[in-house]
């Protein structure tokens, strides 16, 4: 939390409405992707397929729009992500494959499938539907980022669910102590399967919004958000070992990272430095959490 304050102070020159709306426009898809990481990390898991799944949603939507119209296209995109999430969930929850391996494998599968799909879709062309583009990437009154219309209710729903909904509580329970959850009668696999489906859907939503922001669609569109999505959740105070954290912190984390990225761009800091920084942040924060948890 200290970091935000520091950044805000260090960065006063850039604080104007247009810059801010730009930051928010990029921060929204990142924050949604980070929601996937937050929710899965609460259970002690992780979802590394979000980038591939998000790209898939955006790409399916864009390529299906010409033939099917925007509504069906969006639905198709989200259905595909739910399916990917379901497979993840079955792998993690039923077969007990380590979430990292499972979701990495899933990202490979999704990427491969999409590349094949891409070659079959060359002719159809891709369109980001206007409505989606307006909602996901547009601004109103020069400064209001329209994607907030989606994001604010969504974020409120997630924050509320984690506190006041049985399923949200179970995520913490499973991540904090799976044995205790089991002994209390929780069928852990049900929780995990549901969770990864939700994670897939959220990733799809993030992909569609990001597609609208950039007005492009490609099978690797969201790839560069993978590590930041993990970093945002970790910075936001969600323990990578499960049981601790929440979504509001993650939103702040996503904002910090977007600001940081924009700052590094302004300072002409090259991409590699950013990568190293992100990697180091995750490592340091994870190590710090380990210390804290070990001591008690």
Partner 1 sequence: MTDFLLEATGVAKSYGAVAALRDASLGVRPGEVHALMGANGAGKSTFVKILTGAVRPDRGTITLRGRERGMHSPDEARRTGLIPVYQEPSLVPDLDVLANLSLTRTPVAPFRGWVEDLGVHGLDLRTPARELPLAVLRVLDLARALAVEPDVLLLDEMTAALPADLTEHVMNAIRHQREAGRSVIFISHRMIEIAAICDRATVLRDGETVGVLDVTKGTEDQIVTLMLGPVATEPAATRTRPPVTPETLTGPGAPRLSVRGLVAGAKLQDVSFDLHAGEVLGIVALEGQGQDELFDVLAGAARPAAGELRVDGRPVRFGHPADAIRAGLVFVPANRAQALLMQRSVRENIALPFSAPLAGWGPIDVTGERRRINDAVGRLQIDTRAQSEVRRLSGGNQQKVTIARWVAGGVRTLLCFDPTRGIDIRTKREIYELLRELAAAGAAVLLYTSELEEIPLACDRVVVIFGGRVVDEMPAAGADEPTLLRAAYGLPPGALTPEEVVAEAVAIEEAEASPAAGGDGAVGEPREAVREPAPPAGSRA
Partner 2 sequence: MTAAAGTVQGSAPGRTGGTVARVVRRNAWTFGLAALLLVLFLVTRAIKPTYGAAELRSLAIGALPIAFAAVGQAIVVISGGIDLSIGSLLALTNVTAAALMAGGSEESAVPVVLFVLFLGLFLGAVNGLLVVASRVPDIIVTLALSFVWAGAALLVLKSPGGGTAQWLKGLIDGTIGSEWIPEALVLLVVSVALVWLPLRRSRLGLSMYAVGSDRLAAFRSGVAVAPTKVAAYAVTGLFAAMGGLSLSMSTGIGTPVPGPYTLLSVAAIVLGGVSLVGGRGGLLGPILAVFVLALIRADLTFLNVDPNFTTVVQGVIMVVVVMVGAFATLRRRTA
Cβ closest to partner 1, residue 180 vs residue 273: 180
* Cβ 132 vs Cβ 74: under 8 Å: yes
Cβ closest to partner 2, residue 165 vs residue 280: 280
CA 28-263-26 angle, to 5 degrees, is: 15
Which of partner 1, partner 2, none does residue 279 bind (CB under 5 to 8 Å by kind)? Answer: partner 2
How many whole angstroms separate alpha carbon 201 and alpha carbon 207? Answer: 10
* Residue bearing tokens 């089991």: 182
Contact code string over 167-196 relative to partner 1, x by CB under 8 A: x-xx-xx--xx-xxxxxxxxx--x------
- Joined together, the tokens standing for residue 85 give 């999430």
- Joined together, the tokens standing for residue 258 give 């977007």
How many whole angstroms separate alpha carbon 137 and alpha carbon 76? Answer: 20
How many whole angstroms separate alpha carbon 251 and alpha carbon 170? Answer: 21
Which of partner 1, partner 2, none does residue 287 bind (CB under 5 to 8 Å by kind)? Answer: partner 2
Residue 294 touches partner 1, criterion: CB under 8 A:
no
Nearest distance from C-beta of residue 283 to partner 2, angstroms? 4
Region 197-216 residues binding partner 1, contact defined as CB under 8 A: none
Residue 146 DSSP one-character state:
T
Which of partner 1, partner 2, none does residue 181 bind (CB under 5 to 8 Å by kind)? Answer: partner 1
Residue 86 touches partner 1, criterion: CB under 8 A:
no
- Chain residues in the site for partner 1 (CB under 8 A): 164-167, 169-170, 172-173, 176-177, 179-187, 190, 239, 243-244, 296
């Amino acid at each position: 939390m200290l970091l935000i304050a520091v950044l805000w102070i260090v960065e006063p020159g850039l604080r104007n409405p247009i810059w801010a709306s730009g930051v928010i426009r990029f921060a929204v898809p990142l924050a949604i992707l980070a929601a996937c990481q937050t929710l899965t990390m609460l259970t002690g898991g992780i979802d590394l397929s979000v980038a591939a799944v998000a790209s898939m949603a955006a790409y399916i939507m864009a390529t299906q729009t010409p033939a099917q119209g925007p509504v069906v296209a969006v639905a198709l995109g989200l259905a595909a992500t739910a399916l990917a999430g379901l497979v993840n969930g079955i792998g993690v929850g039923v077969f007990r494959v380590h979430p990292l391996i499972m979701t990495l494998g899933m990202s490979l599968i999704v990427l491969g499938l999409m590349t094949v799909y891409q070659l079959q879709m060359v002719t159809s062309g891709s369109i980001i539907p206007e409505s989606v583009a307006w909602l996901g990437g547009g601004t109103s009154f020069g400064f209001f980022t329209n994607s907030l219309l989606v994001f604010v209710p969504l974020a409120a729903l997630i924050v509320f669910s984690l506190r006041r909904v049985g399923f949200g509580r179970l995520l913490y329970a499973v991540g904090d102590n799976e044995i205790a959850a089991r002994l209390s009668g929780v069928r852990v696999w049900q929780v995990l399967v549901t969770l990864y489906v939700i994670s897939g859907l959220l990733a799809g939503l993030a992909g569609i919004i990001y597609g609208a922001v950039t007005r492009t669609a490609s099978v690797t569109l969201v790839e560069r958000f993978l590590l930041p999505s993990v970093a945002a959740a970790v910075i936001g105070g969600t323990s990578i070992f499960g049981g601790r954290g929440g979504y509001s912190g993650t939103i702040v984390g996503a904002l910090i990272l977007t600001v940081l990225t924009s700052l590094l761009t302004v300072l002409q800091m090259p991409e590699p430095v950013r990568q190293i920084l992100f990697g180091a942040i995750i490592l340091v924060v994870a190590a710090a959490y380990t210390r804290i948890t070990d001591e008690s």
